[in-house]
Structure 1
Amino acid sequence: MRRSLAGRTWPNAVAVVLFAFFAFPVYWMVATSFKQDNDIISRTPVFLPLHGTVAHFTKALDADGFWTLVRNSFTVTISAVLASLFIALLASFAIARMKFKGRKAFVVVVMLAQMAPWEVMVIAIYMIVRDADLLNRLVPLTLFYMMMVLPFTIWTLRGFIAAVPRELEESAMVDGCTRVQAFVRVIFPLLAPGLMATSLFGFITAWNEFPLILVLNKEAEAQTLPLWLTQFQTNFGSDWGATMAASSLFAVPVMIVFFFLQRKAVGGLTSGAVKG
């Protein structure tokens, strides 16, 4: 009985400690965004903003071009995610269902592309975009964001498609469906967890990306929200209240997407990683 109780207690205790460790920075960010300036710079930590203020949020929302940055961020992020899903569906189906020369080599290339650090390629990307006369445009950002999330999307969806029995697809084709119709009517509905997982990963990656937008888009009209977080500087240093308020607002779309997708996304990540 004691062993059973101890076996249940220590995993829960570890879980609580890990939750506090990872949740505390988020709490501190949100709490700081409501604090008065005196509480923020106080030598004595103020854990509860009893005399809170929303002035920091007002300042963050009143920043120059805020709504333009919001529009640009959503446009680039959603476009990159949708484009990567469309291409990955075709590529993963070909890898999982078709036999062609160089298939294994292609899978290895996809894995290597997933491990590639995009930050070291910023200079090369800048030269490509500059020579194409596409600086300060949203199209290059969309294309490169799509390329960032595409390898992971292909690898995950490949596992889901490989897990679908071929007999289901063949039965649909015997009943008169073409291969495309069999994919749309039989396989595609079974890919929901994988689509959720890859969509969440792609959204977070593209939404948070900073180095490329910093280098490629210098004009304010073509920038995105990550650069908005760097605007709150004064002659006396950083305005931490406005910065924390902006960071809290910046995290809201990701939290909303994760809230709606988290159940199927977690299952999709684990299933797609081991199947196939």
Structure 2
Amino acid sequence: MTTTTTIRRHRRVRPGRVVATVIGIAFALVWIFPVYWMVNTAFKPPYEVTTPTPQFWPHVFTLRNFHAAIFQSHFFGDLRNSIIVVFGTLIISVIFGIFASAALSRFKFRGRRTILVFILGVQMLPGTALLIPTFLVFNQLGLIGSYLGLILAYVASVLPFSIWVMRGFFLAIPYELEEAAMIDGASSWQILFRVLFPLVTPGVISTSIFAFVFAWNDYLTAYTFMKTQTMYTLPVWLASFSTPTTGTDYGGQMAASVIFSIPVVVFFLIIQRNLVSGMSAGAVKG
């Protein structure tokens, strides 16, 4: 009798939980609908895209928009430029972020708090406020219109965030692990790469995702720093579907947006598994 009563209590649905579930589903639909509408429009012919009555499902599926987007001029060149810039930003920001965050968290030296305050202050500044000063400095150095200039501009925005995030992971590591490694005869480099680095893997992956998405999605810096069409990245290519003279090709722009979103989704799905495994490997057992 007691067991039956317990089962009934567990089966009883709480009104608060139902309300929370409904609200969660409503928010999920609000966030998912723009993505659905983008994919839906990408497969529509032009006359269905511009119809006054919204069509939530294409009556005629077509790949014309994808064909027009892929074989548009400069697509493959802009794709190459984006890959070079994104992975250059990713590698530099992660490497420098690891060393800087390790130094700021494990060593005590004069001016450390000043550097941390400066890093935090840079994060608070909007990117557009730094765009013109950065452009003027890079122009004097002859870096405008080059891969290196755009990569360094992205690194300047990504690196403070990377240092701040990874520093928190380093601070969470007990000093006893380093002391045990020193007793075993490990050098400073061995402690960094064999003891500390595996434990901060989730932080490295988190900053990698941020660096990838930031460099992949940025339009304003790429358009400002690159002088010629051959050096533009994919966000500039995506904006080319809407011009004052020809108007907006909604079908082509939505197809281009789907293509543009695929690498980010694939990168996140690939690195998500490493993020989970890194968090498991970084757990310190008592």
What TM-score, normalized by structure 1, do the two folds share? 0.92
- CA shift, 1:262, in A, is 3.7
Identity %, equivalent residues: 38
Match of 1:259 among 256, 269, 279: 269
SS at match of 1:49: coil
- Residues 197 and 264, structure 1, Cα contact 8 Å, conserved in 2: no
Instruction: Provide the C-alpha distance between the structure 1 equivalents of 2:213 and 2:276, rounded to a whole number of angstroms.
Output: 14
Say whether 1:239 aligns with 2:249. Answer: yes
- Residues 40 and 56, structure 2, Cα contact 8 Å, conserved in 1: yes
SS at match of 2:55: coil
* Count, aligned residues: 269
- Residues 226 and 232, structure 2, Cα contact 8 Å, conserved in 1: yes
- Residues 34 and 54, structure 1, Cα contact 8 Å, conserved in 2: yes
Residue in 2 that maps onto 1:61: 70
Instruction: Provide the C-alpha distance between the structure 1 equivalents of 2:272 and 2:163, rounded to a whole number of angstroms.
Output: 20
Instruction: Provide the C-alpha distance between the structure 1 equivalents of 2:153 and 2:12, rounded to a whole number of angstroms.
Output: 54
Match of 1:85 among 75, 79, 94: 94
Query: How does 1:75-224 map onto structure 2 within 5 Å?
Result: 75-224=84-233
Q: CA, structure 1 residues 62+149, in 2 after alignment: closer, same or farther (shift >3 Å)?
A: same
Structure 1 residue runs without a partner (length 5+): 270-276
**CA distances 1:97-123 after superposition (whole Å, capped 9, x unpaired):** 111112122111111111111112222
Residue in 1 that maps onto 2:6: none
Instruction: Provide the C-alpha distance between the structure 1 equivalents of 2:258 and 2:239, rounded to a whole number of angstroms.
Output: 14
Provide the alpha-carbon RMSD of the alignment.
2.0
Greater CA drift, 104-113 or 16-25:
104-113
Instruction: Provide the C-alpha distance between the structure 2 equivalents of 1:32 and 1:3, rounded to a whole number of angstroms.
Output: 43
Instruction: Provide the C-alpha distance between the structure 1 equivalents of 2:220 and 2:91, rounded to a whole number of angstroms.
Output: 22
Residue in 2 that maps onto 1:16: 25
What TM-score, normalized by structure 2, do the two folds share? 0.89
Q: CA, structure 1 residues 109+265, in 2 after alignment: closer, same or farther (shift >3 Å)?
A: farther
Instruction: Provide the C-alpha distance between the structure 2 equivalents of 1:51 and 1:249, rounded to a whole number of angstroms.
Output: 20
